[in-house]
Amino acid sequence: MKPGSKNGNISDVLIKKNIKPSYQRIKVFEYLLGTDSHPTVEQIYSDLVNEIPTLSKATIYNTLNLFEGAQLARVITIEENETRYDACIEEHGHFKCENCGKIYDFPVNLDNLVSGNGILENFKVNEKNIYFKGICSKCLNNKSNKQEGKNGTGK
């Protein structure tokens, strides 16, 4: 995959959504597509500012809100005060490890939850979110060690 064509593809996606493919927007979208870490605004900014020294955090906010409105990205709300973004729109759940802070994706099908569920049957469901918390297998295995990696609560 050549860099040129890659950018071309990203541009096309943005254009299809009526979003002008500016340099910053392409970089942000590229960043989201290239990670599965569900980054926060802070993480996106601090990584990209190396490449784009003039980058402003307001641009990250503007861009992400734009992408969200165009359904190119979605917000992952797991902890308060920790808005994360995910480029993937397809339905999946998130698991956050309370020890190491990592967020894992897991496959999920929620269709059967809606049909046959009394109250929801007359509702129009636009968005389904599911997230679990607990301890991931990696941290479970290391539980003899006091604290492996930094925890993710930020508190």
Query: Segment 84-143, which members bind DNA (CB under 7 A)?
Result: none
For DNA, the binding residue among 2, 50, 80, 145 (CB under 7 A) is 80
Q: Any contact of residue 7 with DNA (CB under 7 A)?
A: no
How many C-beta atoms surround the C-beta of residue 113 within 10 A? 13
Exposure string (b/e) for 11-43, b if CB count within 10 Å is 16 or more?
bebbeeeebebeebbbbbbbbbbeeeebbbbeb
Give the DSSP H/E element, type plus range, for residue 33.
helix 23-33
Q: Which does 8 bind (CB under 5 to 8 A by kind): DNA, its own copies, none?
A: none
Q: Any contact of residue 83 with its own copies (CB under 8 A)?
A: yes
Query: Segment 56-75, which members bind DNA (CB under 7 A)?
Result: 56-59, 61-63, 65
Residue 77 has φ and ψ, to the nearest 5°, of -105, 100
- Please identify, among the stretches 21-29, 96-104, 121-129, 133-141, the one whose residues bind DNA according to the rule CB under 7 A: 21-29
Q: Which does 25 bind (CB under 5 to 8 A by kind): DNA, its own copies, none?
A: DNA
Q: Which does 19 bind (CB under 5 to 8 A by kind): its own copies, DNA, none?
A: DNA
SS (H, E, C) 77-101: ECCCCCEEEECCCCCEEEEEECCCC
Angle at CA of residue 65, ends 81 and 50, nearest 5°: 80
Under a CB-based contact definition with an 8 Å cutoff, are residues 50 and 14 in contact?
no
Residues near its own copies (CB under 8 A) are: 75, 77-80, 83, 93, 95, 97-98, 104, 106-108, 110, 113-114, 117-120, 122-137, 140
Residues near DNA (CB under 7 A) are: 19-20, 22-25, 40-42, 52, 54-59, 61-63, 65, 80-81, 83, 155
